[in-house]
Amino acid sequence: MEALTNVEKANNTFLEEAEKWSGEKLSLCYQCLKCTAGCPTAPSMDIRPNSIIRMIQMGKKKEVLESSAIWFCVYCQTCGTRCPNEIHIGVLMDALREMAMREGIHAKEKNIHLFHEAFIQSVRRGGRAHEVTMLMDYVLRSRDLMKGSLIPGVKLFLKGKFPLLPSFVKGRGEIKRIFEKCTKAK
Protein backbone atom coordinates (compact mmCIF):
# COMPACT_ATOMS: atom_id res chain seq x y z
CA MET A 1 0.00 0.00 0.00
CA GLU A 2 1.67 3.16 -1.21
CA ALA A 3 -0.82 5.94 -1.08
CA LEU A 4 -2.01 5.82 2.46
CA THR A 5 -0.18 4.25 5.35
CA ASN A 6 -2.51 2.67 7.89
CA VAL A 7 -5.07 2.09 5.18
CA GLU A 8 -4.53 -1.30 3.66
CA LYS A 9 -5.92 -0.73 0.21
CA ALA A 10 -6.29 2.62 -1.40
CA ASN A 11 -9.05 1.52 -3.74
CA ASN A 12 -11.21 0.19 -0.94
CA THR A 13 -11.13 -3.46 -2.01
CA PHE A 14 -11.80 -4.69 1.53
CA LEU A 15 -14.73 -2.29 1.81
CA GLU A 16 -16.07 -3.52 -1.53
CA GLU A 17 -15.51 -7.15 -0.52
CA ALA A 18 -17.26 -6.74 2.82
CA GLU A 19 -20.14 -4.84 1.21
CA LYS A 20 -20.54 -7.58 -1.39
CA TRP A 21 -20.43 -10.44 1.14
CA SER A 22 -22.78 -8.85 3.62
CA GLY A 23 -25.00 -6.94 1.21
CA GLU A 24 -24.79 -3.98 3.58
CA LYS A 25 -23.97 -0.38 2.55
CA LEU A 26 -21.04 0.15 4.90
CA SER A 27 -19.85 3.40 3.30
CA LEU A 28 -22.98 5.08 4.67
CA CYS A 29 -21.83 4.77 8.30
CA TYR A 30 -21.31 8.20 9.87
CA GLN A 31 -20.15 6.89 13.25
CA CYS A 32 -23.11 7.87 15.41
CA LEU A 33 -22.28 4.88 17.67
CA LYS A 34 -25.90 3.86 18.15
CA CYS A 35 -24.88 0.24 17.41
CA THR A 36 -22.16 0.06 20.05
CA ALA A 37 -24.29 1.87 22.61
CA GLY A 38 -26.97 -0.83 22.44
CA CYS A 39 -24.79 -3.93 21.88
CA PRO A 40 -24.99 -6.42 24.81
CA THR A 41 -21.65 -7.99 23.96
CA ALA A 42 -19.74 -4.80 23.09
CA PRO A 43 -18.16 -4.55 26.58
CA SER A 44 -16.42 -7.89 25.95
CA MET A 45 -15.35 -7.11 22.38
CA ASP A 46 -11.76 -6.16 21.55
CA ILE A 47 -13.03 -3.89 18.75
CA ARG A 48 -16.45 -2.23 19.11
CA PRO A 49 -19.01 -2.66 16.31
CA ASN A 50 -18.73 0.97 15.12
CA SER A 51 -14.94 0.66 14.96
CA ILE A 52 -15.27 -2.56 12.96
CA ILE A 53 -17.12 -0.59 10.28
CA ARG A 54 -14.64 2.30 10.38
CA MET A 55 -11.74 -0.18 10.07
CA ILE A 56 -13.40 -1.79 7.07
CA GLN A 57 -13.72 1.68 5.49
CA MET A 58 -10.02 2.21 6.19
CA GLY A 59 -9.14 -1.14 4.60
CA LYS A 60 -7.82 -2.85 7.76
CA LYS A 61 -8.68 -6.38 6.65
CA LYS A 62 -6.21 -8.32 8.80
CA GLU A 63 -7.12 -6.60 12.07
CA VAL A 64 -10.86 -7.01 11.46
CA LEU A 65 -10.80 -10.66 10.44
CA GLU A 66 -8.44 -11.57 13.27
CA SER A 67 -10.49 -9.81 15.92
CA SER A 68 -12.47 -11.72 18.50
CA ALA A 69 -15.26 -9.16 18.20
CA ILE A 70 -16.67 -10.75 15.06
CA TRP A 71 -17.05 -14.03 17.00
CA PHE A 72 -18.60 -12.39 20.06
CA CYS A 73 -21.62 -11.06 18.17
CA VAL A 74 -24.69 -13.06 19.19
CA TYR A 75 -26.81 -11.76 16.29
CA CYS A 76 -29.44 -10.21 18.55
CA GLN A 77 -29.93 -7.53 15.83
CA THR A 78 -30.27 -4.65 18.27
CA CYS A 79 -27.68 -2.75 16.22
CA GLY A 80 -29.35 -3.36 12.87
CA THR A 81 -32.80 -2.45 14.17
CA ARG A 82 -31.47 0.85 15.52
CA CYS A 83 -28.99 1.86 12.81
CA PRO A 84 -30.17 5.14 11.16
CA ASN A 85 -28.53 4.05 7.90
CA GLU A 86 -30.09 0.56 7.88
CA ILE A 87 -26.76 -1.22 8.23
CA HIS A 88 -27.40 -4.68 9.71
CA ILE A 89 -24.21 -5.20 11.63
CA GLY A 90 -25.30 -8.70 12.70
CA VAL A 91 -25.41 -9.70 9.05
CA LEU A 92 -22.06 -8.02 8.53
CA MET A 93 -20.51 -9.89 11.47
CA ASP A 94 -21.76 -13.16 10.04
CA ALA A 95 -20.22 -12.28 6.67
CA LEU A 96 -16.95 -11.35 8.37
CA ARG A 97 -16.88 -14.72 10.15
CA GLU A 98 -17.33 -16.47 6.83
CA MET A 99 -14.62 -14.33 5.26
CA ALA A 100 -12.29 -15.16 8.15
CA MET A 101 -12.92 -18.88 7.73
CA ARG A 102 -12.35 -18.72 3.99
CA GLU A 103 -9.09 -16.87 4.56
CA GLY A 104 -8.12 -19.61 7.00
CA ILE A 105 -7.93 -17.17 9.88
CA HIS A 106 -8.80 -18.94 13.09
CA ALA A 107 -10.86 -17.20 15.68
CA LYS A 108 -8.87 -15.59 18.43
CA GLU A 109 -11.26 -17.05 20.97
CA LYS A 110 -10.46 -20.75 21.28
CA ASN A 111 -13.26 -23.11 20.20
CA ILE A 112 -15.70 -20.31 19.40
CA HIS A 113 -16.16 -21.45 15.82
CA LEU A 114 -16.80 -25.00 17.09
CA PHE A 115 -19.70 -23.67 19.10
CA HIS A 116 -21.04 -22.04 15.95
CA GLU A 117 -20.62 -25.33 14.08
CA ALA A 118 -22.52 -27.22 16.79
CA PHE A 119 -25.30 -24.67 16.65
CA ILE A 120 -25.63 -24.87 12.87
CA GLN A 121 -25.61 -28.69 12.95
CA SER A 122 -28.37 -28.66 15.54
CA VAL A 123 -30.50 -26.41 13.34
CA ARG A 124 -29.71 -28.63 10.37
CA ARG A 125 -30.98 -31.69 12.20
CA GLY A 126 -34.25 -30.37 13.59
CA GLY A 127 -34.96 -27.01 11.98
CA ARG A 128 -34.38 -25.35 15.34
CA ALA A 129 -31.66 -25.49 17.98
CA HIS A 130 -31.91 -28.19 20.65
CA GLU A 131 -29.73 -27.11 23.54
CA VAL A 132 -28.91 -30.50 25.09
CA THR A 133 -27.78 -32.25 21.91
CA MET A 134 -26.09 -29.07 20.73
CA LEU A 135 -24.05 -28.81 23.92
CA MET A 136 -23.14 -32.50 23.79
CA ASP A 137 -21.98 -31.97 20.22
CA TYR A 138 -19.91 -28.96 21.27
CA VAL A 139 -18.32 -30.80 24.21
CA LEU A 140 -17.40 -33.70 21.94
CA ARG A 141 -15.94 -31.36 19.31
CA SER A 142 -14.03 -29.13 21.67
CA ARG A 143 -13.29 -31.42 24.62
CA ASP A 144 -14.24 -28.38 26.70
CA LEU A 145 -16.33 -29.49 29.66
CA MET A 146 -17.71 -25.98 30.25
CA LYS A 147 -17.22 -26.25 33.98
CA GLY A 148 -18.00 -22.59 34.58
CA SER A 149 -21.40 -22.92 32.92
CA LEU A 150 -22.43 -26.03 34.88
CA ILE A 151 -24.43 -24.33 37.67
CA PRO A 152 -26.32 -21.87 35.39
CA GLY A 153 -27.01 -24.86 33.11
CA VAL A 154 -28.52 -26.88 35.95
CA LYS A 155 -30.66 -23.90 37.00
CA LEU A 156 -31.94 -23.48 33.45
CA PHE A 157 -32.68 -27.23 33.27
CA LEU A 158 -34.63 -27.13 36.53
CA LYS A 159 -36.74 -24.25 35.18
CA GLY A 160 -37.58 -26.36 32.15
CA LYS A 161 -35.59 -24.28 29.70
CA PHE A 162 -33.65 -27.33 28.46
CA PRO A 163 -36.08 -29.92 27.12
CA LEU A 164 -34.49 -33.37 27.12
CA LEU A 165 -35.99 -34.50 23.83
CA PRO A 166 -35.55 -32.43 20.68
CA SER A 167 -38.63 -31.09 18.90
CA PHE A 168 -38.55 -30.83 15.16
CA VAL A 169 -40.11 -28.33 12.80
CA LYS A 170 -42.66 -29.46 10.23
CA GLY A 171 -40.75 -28.70 7.04
CA ARG A 172 -37.53 -30.57 7.73
CA GLY A 173 -37.24 -31.43 4.06
CA GLU A 174 -37.25 -27.75 3.23
CA ILE A 175 -34.62 -27.05 5.88
CA LYS A 176 -32.50 -29.72 4.31
CA ARG A 177 -32.89 -28.15 0.90
CA ILE A 178 -31.95 -24.72 2.28
CA PHE A 179 -28.76 -26.18 3.69
CA GLU A 180 -28.00 -27.96 0.44
CA LYS A 181 -28.50 -24.75 -1.54
CA CYS A 182 -26.34 -22.74 0.81
CA THR A 183 -23.54 -25.28 0.71
CA LYS A 184 -23.69 -25.31 -3.08
CA ALA A 185 -23.66 -21.50 -3.27
CA LYS A 186 -20.43 -21.48 -1.31
Partner 1 sequence: MKKLGVFICHCGVNIAGTVDVKSVAGKMEEVKDVSHSADYIYMCSEPGQQLIREAIREKGLEGVVVACCSPSMHENTFRKAVKSEGMNPYLCEIANIREQCSWVHQKEKQRATEKAEEIILATLKKVRENEKLEAISVSINRSVLVIGGGIAGMTAALDLAEGGYEVILLEKEQALGGHMTQLSKTFPDLHPALPNLFAKAKEIEKHPGIDLHCYSEMEDVKGYVGNFELTIRKKATHVDWEKCNGCGLCIRDCPVEYVSQFERGLGVRKAIDLLYPKSVPDKPVVHRDHCRYFIDGSCRKCEEVCPEKAIRFNQEDERIGKKVGAIVVATGFDLYPREKLGEYGYGEIPDVIDGLSLERMLSADGPTQGKIVRPSDGKVPKEMVFIQCVASRDPDRYMPYCSRICCMYTAKQAKIYKEQVPDGQPYIFYMDIRSDGKGYEEFLQKTIEEEGLLYLRGRVSRIFQDNGKVRVLGVDTLTGNMVEVAADMVVLATAVVPSDGVKDLAAKLRATVDRHGFLTEAHIKLYPVESSTKGIYLAGCGQGPKDISDTVSQASATASKIQALLSTDQLLQDPLIAFVDEHICSGCGICVEICPYEAREMDSRRGISVVHSALCQGCGACIGACPNFACELRNSSSIQTLRMMDTFV
79 within 8 A of 90, measured Cβ to Cβ: yes
Q: Does 83 bind partner 1 (CB under 8 A)?
A: no
**Least CB distance from residue 6 to partner 1, whole Å?**
5
37 within 8 A of 20, measured Cβ to Cβ: no
Consecutive H or E run containing 89: helix 89-102
Q: Does 25 bind partner 1 (CB under 8 A)?
A: yes
14 versus 138: smaller Cβ distance to partner 1: 14
| Contacts of partner 1 in 117-136 (CB under 8 A) | none
**Torsion of Cα atoms, 141 then 146 then 149 then 151, to 10°:** 120
| The only residue of 5, 145, 184, 185 in contact with partner 1, by rule CB under 8 A | 5
Q: Does 54 bind partner 1 (CB under 8 A)?
A: yes
**Least CB distance from residue 40 to partner 1, whole Å?**
23
- Neighbouring residues of 69: CB distance < 8 A, sequence distance ≥ 6: 45, 46, 47, 48, 49, 52, 93
Q: Does 57 bind partner 1 (CB under 8 A)?
A: yes
Distance CA 15, CA 59 (A): 6
Q: Does 66 bind partner 1 (CB under 8 A)?
A: no
Q: Does 15 bind partner 1 (CB under 8 A)?
A: yes
87 versus 134: smaller Cβ distance to partner 1: 87
Q: Does 7 bind partner 1 (CB under 8 A)?
A: yes
Distance CA 53, CA 150 (A): 36
4 versus 150: smaller Cβ distance to partner 1: 4
The site string for partner 1 over 134-163 (x = CB under 8 A, - otherwise) reads ------------------------------
**In this structure, what DSSP letter does residue 84 have?**
T
**In this structure, what DSSP letter does residue 148 have?**
G
116 within 8 A of 97, measured Cβ to Cβ: yes
Instruction: Note the residues at the interface with partner 1 (CB under 8 A).
Output: 2-7, 10-12, 15-16, 25, 27-28, 30-31, 51, 54-55, 57-58, 60, 85
